[in-house]
C-alpha cells in the first residue's frame, strides 16, 4: 500500500472505532510545508502510548511505523488481517488464494464488496430489523421481523458460493474501471435462513411476476440518505429455487457486519451483486428490475463477443446470470519450492453457476498435457467442490501448475483471458501457481 492509500484506510477505520487521539491525528491539518500541527503530534503520542520526541519533523501522510508494521491495525473489523484491501471508500477487500483453503470459508476470510457505506453497527437492532415484501407483482405487502421469519418459515442451511461478477477484472486489457480484483472475490460459507420462495409465496406472487429485487440499508458514499446505492435482482425462476435464501447466519454465527448483518439474500451461482446485504425490502417486479446497477453497463456483458476495447451500446449489453466454470488452487501458495524427487500435493476448489463440475485436471507443461485430479461432489447445489492431486516433476527447474475445471455440459475454463468486455466481468481463466523444484 502506498502511504496515501494507507492514510485513507486509517481514516475509514478510525471512523468506525478509533479513539479521539487518532481522530485528532488523522483529521489533523498540516502546515504549508506538510508538517503536522502540534496538537496532532500530541494526539499521535497519545495513540502510540509515548510522546513523539522529534514530532516537529513529522510529515503529514507518513504512517507511524508502529502502526504500519502492525497488520492488526489495518485489518477490517471482523476480518482476517491477510485480506487485501483494494479500496476503502467504499470498503472492498479480497482474499488471497491460500486463505481460501478451508472447505467452508470462515466469516473472517470472506471477501467484502461494498458499493456504499454499511449501516453503522450501533444503529442495527436485530430485534427491530424488518423485511418488507411488496411490488407490482406482490399480492399483498407484508413486513416481518427476523424473529418472525425464523419462527414462521422452515429454516434451511446450504453452503453457497458468492463470487463477485468482477472477480479477475485485473487481467483485462484494455483495463476495465472498478475494483481490480485478482482471484479473491469468491468464498463459499454455509448460510442459514429461510427460503426466499416461502416468504414470497406467503406474501403472494402474481402470475405476471418476472423479477425479484432487493433494497438494503447501506447509504451512498456522497452522504445523501435517499440515494439508493445498489438495488439488483434475479429472474423469478432463480428466486424460486430451493437454495435461494434470506439468511441471518453464516457458519452458524451472525453474518459479519461487512457482509450484511443482520439479514441478506444469498443466491449461489449468480453474481454476488444479486445477493443484497443489510436486506430491508424485497420487491416482486412485473418487469426486469431497473434499480441502480441493474441497467446500462453494470453487471452486463456484450450479448455478442466484441474485440477488446470496443465501446458497446447499452442495448447490446446482456445481464449476467449464472457465473462461469472456475477453479482455484488454495494449496500450496504460488512460489512453493520442493526438493527433487518429491511429489507436490495440490488442492483447491471448483465451482460453476448452473451445473456441476465433472472433471478437474492439472498441467505442469503450460497446458500441453493434462492429468486428472481427485474431485469431490458438492454438498449441495451451488456449493463449490474440492480437488486434490499429487504432482510429479521430471527434473529440477521452474514450473507452473495450472488447473482446469470442466462441467457436466463439457464446458471448460479458458487458459487465457476469456471474452473481453467493457467492465471486466466473468474472467474464468485457469488459475496457476509457480513452483520451483531444486
Ligand atoms: N446492500 C448491498 N448489497 C450488496 C452490495 C452492496 O454494496 N450493498 N454489494 C453487492 C456486490 S457487488 C457483491 S459482489 C456482494 C458482496 O458480498 P460480500 O461483501 O458479503 O462478499 O454483495 C452484494 N450485495
Ligand atoms: Mo460484485
Instruction: Indicate whether 213 and 361 sit together in one domain.
Output: no
Instruction: Indicate whether 136 and 193 sit together in one domain.
Output: yes
Instruction: Indicate whether 165 and 268 sit together in one domain.
Output: yes
Q: What is the DSSP string of 39-59?
A: HHHHHHHHHHTS--TTGGGPB
- Looking at residue 21, what is its pLDDT? 39
Q: Is the pLDDT of residue 49 over 70?
A: no
Q: Would you say the CB of residue 111 lies under 6 angstroms from ligand 1?
A: yes
Q: Would you say the CB of residue 116 lies under 6 angstroms from ligand 1?
A: yes
Closest ligand 1 atom, CA of 114?
7
Beta bridge partners of 293: none
Q: What is the DSSP string of 190-237?
A: EEEEEEHHHHHHHH-B-TT--EEEEEES-B-TT--TTS-S---EEEHH
Q: Would you say the CB of residue 256 lies under 6 angstroms from ligand 1?
A: no
C-alpha cell at 234: 434475479
C-alpha cell at 421: 468486455
Number of structural domains (the chain) is 3
Task: Specify the higher pLDDT residue, 34 or 273.
Answer: 273
Are the C-beta atoms of 267 and 353 separated by less than 8 Å? Answer: no
Burial of 8 (0-12, 13-18, 19+ CB in 10 A): middle
Ligand index nearest the alpha carbon of residue 276: 1
Ligand index nearest the alpha carbon of residue 277: 1
Instruction: Indicate whether 307 and 365 sit together in one domain.
Output: no
Count other C-beta atoms under 10 Å from residue 330's C-beta: 23
Are the C-beta atoms of 349 and 386 separated by less than 8 Å? Answer: yes
Q: What spacing in Å lies between the alpha carbon of 396 and ligand 1's midpoint? A: 45
Per-residue pLDDT band at 15 (split at 50, 70, 90): very low
pLDDT tens-digit series, residues 193-203: 999 999 999 99
Give mean pLDDT, residues 261-287: 98
Instruction: Indicate whether 276 and 157 sit together in one domain.
Output: yes
Selection from 104, 86, 87, 88 nearest residue 96 by Cα: 86
Q: What spacing in Å lies between the alpha carbon of 86 and ligand 1's midpoint? A: 15
Q: Would you say the CB of residue 110 lies under 6 angstroms from ligand 1?
A: yes
Per-residue pLDDT band at 17 (split at 50, 70, 90): very low
318 membership: H or E segment, kind and range? strand 317-319
| Position 193 in a domain | yes
Beta bridge partners of 117: 219
Q: Which residue, chain included where needed, has cell 485528532? A: 24
Q: Is the pLDDT of residue 52 over 80?
A: no
Domain that holds residue 40: 3-74
Instruction: Indicate whether 215 and 173 sit together in one domain.
Output: yes
Beta bridge partners of 336: 435
Q: Would you say the CB of residue 215 lies under 6 angstroms from ligand 1?
A: no
In CATH, what number is assigned to the domain containing residue 269?
A: 3.90.420.10
Q: Would you say the CB of residue 272 lies under 6 angstroms from ligand 1?
A: yes
Give mean pLDDT, residues 207-224: 95
Using a CB cutoff of 5 Å, list residues around ligand 2, an ion.
Answer: 113, 164, 273
Closest ligand 1 atom, CA of 256?
20
DSSP state, residue 37: P
pLDDT tens-digit series, residues 354-406: 999 999 999 999 999 999 999 999 999 999 999 999 999 999 999 999 999 99
Instruction: Indicate whether 385 and 237 sit together in one domain.
Output: no
* pTM, full prediction: 0.85
Report residue 191: phi and psi, to 5°.
-110, 140
Instruction: Indicate whether 308 and 345 sit together in one domain.
Output: no
In CATH, what number is assigned to the domain containing residue 401?
A: 2.60.40.650
| Position 55 in a domain | yes
Instruction: Indicate whether 161 and 126 sit together in one domain.
Output: yes
Ligand index nearest the alpha carbon of residue 258: 1
- Looking at residue 223, what is its pLDDT? 85
| Position 110 in a domain | no
Q: pLDDT over 90 for what percent of the chain?
A: 76
| Position 103 in a domain | no
Q: Is the pLDDT of residue 178 over 90?
A: yes
Q: What spacing in Å lies between the alpha carbon of 272 and ligand 1's midpoint? A: 6
| Position 98 in a domain | no
| Position 101 in a domain | no
| Position 180 in a domain | yes
Instruction: Indicate whether 173 and 308 sit together in one domain.
Output: yes
Q: Is the pLDDT of residue 89 over 50?
A: yes
- DSSP E strands, 50-207: 84-88, 91-94, 112-113, 130-134, 142-145, 155-159, 162-163, 186-187, 190-195
- Looking at residue 61, what is its pLDDT? 56
Instruction: Indicate whether 279 and 221 sit together in one domain.
Output: yes
Q: Is the pLDDT of residue 235 over 70?
A: yes
Instruction: Indicate whether 52 and 135 sit together in one domain.
Output: no
Report residue 88: phi and psi, to 5°.
-120, 0
Are the C-beta atoms of 187 and 276 separated by less than 8 Å? Answer: no
- The residue whose CA has the least distance to atom 2 of ligand 1 is 277
Q: What spacing in Å lies between the alpha carbon of 53 and ligand 1's midpoint? A: 45
Q: Would you say the CB of residue 218 lies under 6 angstroms from ligand 1?
A: yes
| Position 24 in a domain | yes
Domain end call among 319, 346, 372: 319
Selection from 91, 117, 88, 115 nearest residue 2 by Cα: 88
Measured CA to CA, the distance from residue 221 to residue 211 in angstroms comes to 27
- Looking at residue 225, what is its pLDDT? 86
Per-residue pLDDT band at 76 (split at 50, 70, 90): confident
Q: What spacing in Å lies between the alpha carbon of 310 and ligand 2's midpoint? A: 23
Q: What is the DSSP string of 405-421?
A: EEETTS-B--SS--S--
Task: Specify the higher pLDDT residue, 61 or 337.
Answer: 337
Domain end call among 57, 74, 91: 74
Contacts (Cβ under 8 Å, ≥6 apart) of 417: 171, 172, 173, 427, 429
Domain end call among 289, 319, 349: 319
Task: Specify the higher pLDDT residue, 347 or 46.
Answer: 347
Amino acid at each position: 500500500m502506498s502511504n496515501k492509500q494507507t492514510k485513507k484506510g486509517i481514516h475509514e477505520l478510525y471512523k468506525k472505532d478509533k479513539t479521539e487521539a487518532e481522530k485528532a491525528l488523522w483529521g489533523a491539518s498540516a502546515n504549508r510545508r506538510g508538517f503536522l500541527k502540534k496538537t496532532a503530534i500530541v494526539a499521535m503520542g497519545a495513540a502510540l502510548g509515548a510522546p513523539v520526541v522529534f514530532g516537529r519533523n513529522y510529515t503529514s501522510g507518513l504512517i507511524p511505523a508502529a502502526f504500519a508494521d502492525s497488520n492488526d491495525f489495518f485489518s477490517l473489523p471482523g476480518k482476517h488481517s491477510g485480506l487485501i484491501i483494494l479500496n476503502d471508500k467504499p470498503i472492498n477487500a479480497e482474499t488471497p488464494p491460500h486463505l481460501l483453503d478451508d472447505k467452508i470459508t470462515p466469516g473472517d476470510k470472506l471477501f467484502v464488496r461494498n458499493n456504499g457505506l454499511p449501516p453503522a453497527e450501533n444503529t442495527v437492532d436485530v430485534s427491530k430489523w424488518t423485511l418488507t415484501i411488496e411490488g407490482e407483482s406482490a399480492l399483498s405487502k407484508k413486513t416481518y421481523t427476523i424473529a418472525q421469519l425464523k419462527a414462521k418459515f422452515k429454516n434451511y442451511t446450504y453452503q453457497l458460493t458468492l463470487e463477485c461478477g468482477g472477480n479477475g477484472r485485473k487481467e483485462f486489457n484494455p483495463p476495465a474501471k472498478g475494483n481490480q480484483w485478482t482471484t479473491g472475490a469468491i468464498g463459499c460459507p454455509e448460510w442459514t435462513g429461510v427460503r426466499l420462495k416461502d416468504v414470497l409465496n406467503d406474501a403472494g406472487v402474481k402470475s405476471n411476476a418476472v423479477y425479484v429485487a432487493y433494497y438494503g440499508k447501506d447509504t451512498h458514499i456522497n452522504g445523501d440518505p435517499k440515494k439508493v446505492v445498489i438495488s439488483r435482482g434475479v429472474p423469478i425462476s432463480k428466486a424460486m429455487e430451493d437454495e435461494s435464501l434470506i439468511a441471518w447466519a453464516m457458519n452458524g454465527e451472525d453474518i459479519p457486519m461487512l457482509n450484511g448483518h443482520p439479514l441478506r439474500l444469498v443466491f449461489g451461482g449468480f453474481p454476488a451483486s444479486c445477493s443484497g446485504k443489510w436486506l430491508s425490502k424485497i420487491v416482486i417486479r412485473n418487469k426486469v428490475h431497473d434499480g441502480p446497477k441493474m441497467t446500462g453497463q453494470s453487471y452486463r456483458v456484450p450479448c455478442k463477443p466484441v474485440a477488446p476495447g470496443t465501446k458497446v451500446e447499452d442495448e447490446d449489453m446482456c445481464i449476467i446470470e449464472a457465473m462461469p466454470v472456475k477453479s482455484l488452487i488454495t494449496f500450496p501458495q504460488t512460489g512453493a519450492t520442493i526438493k527433487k524427487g518429491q511429489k507436490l500435493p495440490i488442492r483447491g476448489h471448483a465451482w460453476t453457476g448452473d451445473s456441476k463440475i465433472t472433471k478437474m485436471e492439472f498441467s505442469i507443461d503450460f497446458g500441453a498435457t493434462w492429468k486428472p485430479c481427485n474431485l469431490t461432489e458438492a454438498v449441495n447445489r451451488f456449493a463449490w467442490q474440492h480437488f486434490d492431486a499429487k504432482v510429479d516433476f521430471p527434473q529440477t527447474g521452474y514450473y507452473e501448475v495450472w488447473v482446469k475445471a470442466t462441467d457436466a455440459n463439457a464446458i471448460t475454463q479458458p487458459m487465457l483471458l476469456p471474452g473481453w468486455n467493457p467492465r471486466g466481468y466473468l474472467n474464468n481463466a485457469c488459475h496457476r501457481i509457480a513452483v520451483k523444484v531444486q
